[in-house]
Chain A
Amino acid sequence: MVRLITHNILACHVKGCTSNNFPLQLQGVQIELREAEFNPEFLKTFLPKIEWKALVDTAKEARDTSLPLEQPEMLDDEFLKNLHHVLLEIHIEEGTMICPNCKHNYPISNGIPNMLLAEHEVG
Chain B
Amino acid sequence: MSKYLVVFAQAHLEFRVPELESVAQLYNFQISFSDNPDERDPGRPYMIVGLDEEEHARLLAKRCILVKSIYEFYGKGANYEELHICNRSKRTLWERFIPETSFRFFVTSYNHKIPQRRQKEVVESFAYMGFMGKIDMKNPEITLGCFEEYETRNRATRERHEGDGDFLQVYFGRLIEEGSARSLIQLFDVKKRSYFGNTSMEAEISLLMANQTLASPGKLIYDPFMGTGSMAYPVAHFGAQVMGSDIDGRQMRGKGSTPGIFRAASQYGVSSRIVDICTFDVTNNPWRCGELFDAIVTDPPYGVRAGAKRLGRKKELDTSRLALYHEHCTNPRVGDSPYIPPTKPYELSNLAIFAETWGRLVFFLPTVTDEYEEVDIYTMLCEGMEVIANSLQDFGSWGRRLVTIRKVTSEKYPIPDFSSPKTEDEERHVPAHRHFREKYFQGFRKDGEGE
Q: Which residue numbers of A lie inside 8 Å of B, CB to CB?
A: 1-3, 5-6, 8-13, 22, 34-37, 39, 41-42, 44-46, 49, 51, 88, 106, 110-117, 122-123
Q: Would you call B168 an interface residue if the criterion is a C-beta within 8 Å of the partner chain's C-beta atoms?
A: no
Choose among B219, B243, B284 the residue that contacts A123 (Cβ–Cβ < 8 A). B284
Question: Once the chains bind, are B278 and A113 in contact (CB under 8 Å)?
Answer: yes
Question: Once the chains bind, are B272 and A13 in contact (CB under 8 Å)?
Answer: no
> Which of chain A's residues has its CB closest to B288's CB?
A11
How many Cβ-Cβ contacts under 8 Å join chain A to chain B? 91
Q: Which of B83-91, B115-123, B251-259, B365-373 makes up part of the contact surface?
A: B251-259
Question: Once the chains bind, are A112 and B259 in contact (CB under 8 Å)?
Answer: yes
Q: How far is the CB of B91 from chain A (nearest CB, A)?
A: 44
Chain B residues near A13 (CB, 8 Å)? 284-286
Choose among B259, B272, B280, B292 the residue that contacts A111 (Cβ–Cβ < 8 A). B259
How far apart are the CA atoms of A3 and B252 in the complex, in Å?
17
Given the known interface contacts A13-B284, A34-B272, A51-B288, the answer about A42 and B279 at a Cβ–Cβ threshold of 8 Å is: no
Q: How far is the CB of B163 from chain A (nearest CB, A)?
A: 54
Question: Once the chains bind, are B419 and A110 in contact (CB under 8 Å)?
Answer: no
How far apart are the CA atoms of A116 and B283 in the complex, in Å?
11
* 18 extra A-B contacts, CB within 8 A, seeds A88-B275, A115-B280: A10-B278, A10-B287, A10-B288, A11-B286, A11-B287, A12-B286, A35-B272, A39-B217, A45-B218, A46-B220, A112-B253, A112-B278, A112-B279, A113-B276, A113-B278, A114-B249, A114-B279, A123-B284
How far apart are the CA atoms of A44 and B220 in the complex, in Å?
12
Choose among A11, A41, A114, A122 the residue that contacts B217 (Cβ–Cβ < 8 A). A41
Q: Would you call B277 an interface residue if the criterion is a C-beta within 8 Å of the partner chain's C-beta atoms?
A: yes
Chain B residues near A51 (CB, 8 Å)? 288
How far apart are the CA atoms of A36 and B280 in the complex, in Å?
25
Chain B residues near A12 (CB, 8 Å)? 286
> Which of chain B's residues has its CB closest to A9's CB?
B288
Nearest 6 CB-CB pairings of A with B: A41-B218, A115-B280, A36-B272, A6-B276, A11-B288, A13-B286
Which residues 236-292 in B have Cβ within 8 Å of A in the complex?
241, 243, 245, 247, 249, 252-253, 257, 259, 262, 272-273, 275-281, 284-289, 291-292
How far apart are the CA atoms of A108 and B337 in the complex, in Å?
44
Chain A residues near B247 (CB, 8 Å)? 116
Chain A residues near B289 (CB, 8 Å)? 9, 49
Chain B residues near A112 (CB, 8 Å)? 249, 252-253, 259, 276-279
Choose among B272, B279, B292 the residue that contacts A113 (Cβ–Cβ < 8 A). B279
How far apart are the CA atoms of A116 and B252 in the complex, in Å?
15
> Which of chain B's residues has its CB closest to A51's CB?
B288
Interface centre among B218, B279, B288, B289 (most CB of A within 10 A): B288
How far apart are the CA atoms of A6 and B222 in the complex, in Å?
12
Choose among A6, A106, A111 the residue that contacts B243 (Cβ–Cβ < 8 A). A6
Chain B residues near A2 (CB, 8 Å)? 276
> Which of chain A's residues has its CB closest to B281's CB?
A116
Q: How far is the CB of B283 from chain A (nearest CB, A)?
A: 9
How far apart are the CA atoms of A123 and B417 in the complex, in Å?
9
Question: Once the chains bind, are A115 and B218 in contact (CB under 8 Å)?
Answer: no
Choose among A3, A9, A88 the residue that contacts B287 (Cβ–Cβ < 8 A). A9
How far apart are the CA atoms of A23 and B61 in the complex, in Å?
45
> Which of chain A's residues has its CB closest to B287's CB?
A9
Interface centre among B257, B278, B286 (most CB of A within 10 A): B286
Chain B residues near A45 (CB, 8 Å)? 218-219, 294
Chain A residues near B277 (CB, 8 Å)? 112
Question: Once the chains bind, are B287 and A110 in contact (CB under 8 Å)?
Answer: no
Question: Once the chains bind, are B272 and A3 in contact (CB under 8 Å)?
Answer: no
> Which of chain B's residues has its CB closest to A22's CB?
B288
Question: Once the chains bind, are B276 and A115 in contact (CB under 8 Å)?
Answer: no
How far apart are the CA atoms of A111 and B257 in the complex, in Å?
11
Q: How far is the CB of B183 from chain A (nearest CB, A)?
A: 23
Given the known interface contacts A88-B275, A122-B284, the answer about A9 and B292 at a Cβ–Cβ threshold of 8 Å is: yes
Question: Once the chains bind, are B219 and A42 in contact (CB under 8 Å)?
Answer: yes
Choose among B241, B259, B284 the residue that contacts A117 (Cβ–Cβ < 8 A). B284
How far apart are the CA atoms of A14 and B241 in the complex, in Å?
28
